[in-house]
Amino acid sequence: MSAPDPATPLPDQLGAGGEAPGVLKFFYGPMDCGKSTLALQLDHNRGKAGFRGLLLTRYDRSAIPQISSRVGIVKPATEVDDREDLAELVGRSWAAGVRVDYLIVDEAQFFTPAQVEQMAQLADDSGIDVYAFGIATDFLGNLFPGSARLFELADESVPLQVEVLCWCGRPGRFNARVVDGVVAKSGARVVVADTEAAAAVHYKVLCRRHHRQGDLGPTAGAGTFPLDS
């Protein structure tokens, strides 16, 4: 597939169904596994090839919504809420003269199942490639509803977990919510916090066994292994 000429007028393709379908891919892993870095790398590569993308995120805590990686790369993103229809959002972009060839969806676990269905619709009916990056399970080890829908609908689900280890050395697959030094076993599904161990409420990546046992290890509080690169 060759890159479209950026000067070409926008095709009236939304909902037309005549385009070659795009792909919906779900890249998932625990916190600090390099998801945002990969998202920005993918955006960079496709941008260089002449494609135009839209970056979406949820619950961004910065003044200007963005996708940021731990290696210091930052790109502005559009923050959406539960009510946003992603197909309409892309339609508005086209109407404003900004072509959309692909979507990068960061924090995909926080999108609603309906919005995940809109991602599939954009891929199927508008030929848009959708790359979703997110965490599969919440602090109790239950699938986020958005992530569950992504596993069901995505053409491909790609695990990103090799870089994050539990303190015991096993692959870290679970994000434990640590409240005042104790692994939380109940609470709201969404509490936005970082992996900074100094904070009263933070997240720590553990293996299944130590997540189940609530065992933060001999150096509890020493933090995770932020090998995000």
Catalytic residue list: 107
> Which residues line the annotated binding site for substrate?
203
Q: Which of 31, 33, 77, 207 binds Zn ion (CB under 5 A)?
A: 207
- Contact stretch for Zn ion (CB under 5 A) within 11-19, 95-103, 186-194, 206-214: 206-214
User: Which part of the chain contacts Zn ion (CB under 5 A), choosing from 54-62, 139-147, 163-171, 179-187?
Assistant: 163-171
**Euclidean distance between CA atoms 182 and 214, whole angstroms:** 7
User: Closest distance between Zn ion and the C-beta of residue 80, in Å?
Assistant: 35
Write down the residue that tokens 């280890």 correspond to.
165
The sign of the torsion formed by the CA atoms of 32, 45, 78, 152 equals negative
**Rg (the chain; Cα; Å):** 19
Q: Is 166 in the site for Zn ion (CB under 5 A)?
A: yes
Tokens of 160: 């990103």
Smallest gap, in angstroms, from Cβ of residue 211 to Zn ion? Answer: 8
Provide DSSP, 79-123.
E--TT--HHHHHHHHHHTT---SEEEESSGGGS-HHHHHHHHHHH
CB of 183 to Zn ion, least distance (A): 12
Q: How far is the CB of 175 from Zn ion (least distance, A)?
A: 13
Residue nearest to Zn ion (CB): 166
Q: Considering the rule CB under 5 A, would residue 168 count as an interface residue with Zn ion?
A: yes
In this structure, the strands spanning 201-206 and 174-179 are antiparallel
Binding-site size for Zn ion (CB under 5 A) equals 5
Nearer to Zn ion, 158 or 168 (CB): 168
Closest CA to 119 of 29, 110, 19, 128: 128
Binder of Zn ion out of 24, 175, 210, 228 (CB under 5 A) = 210
Interface contacts to Zn ion, rule CB under 5 A: 166, 168, 170, 207, 210
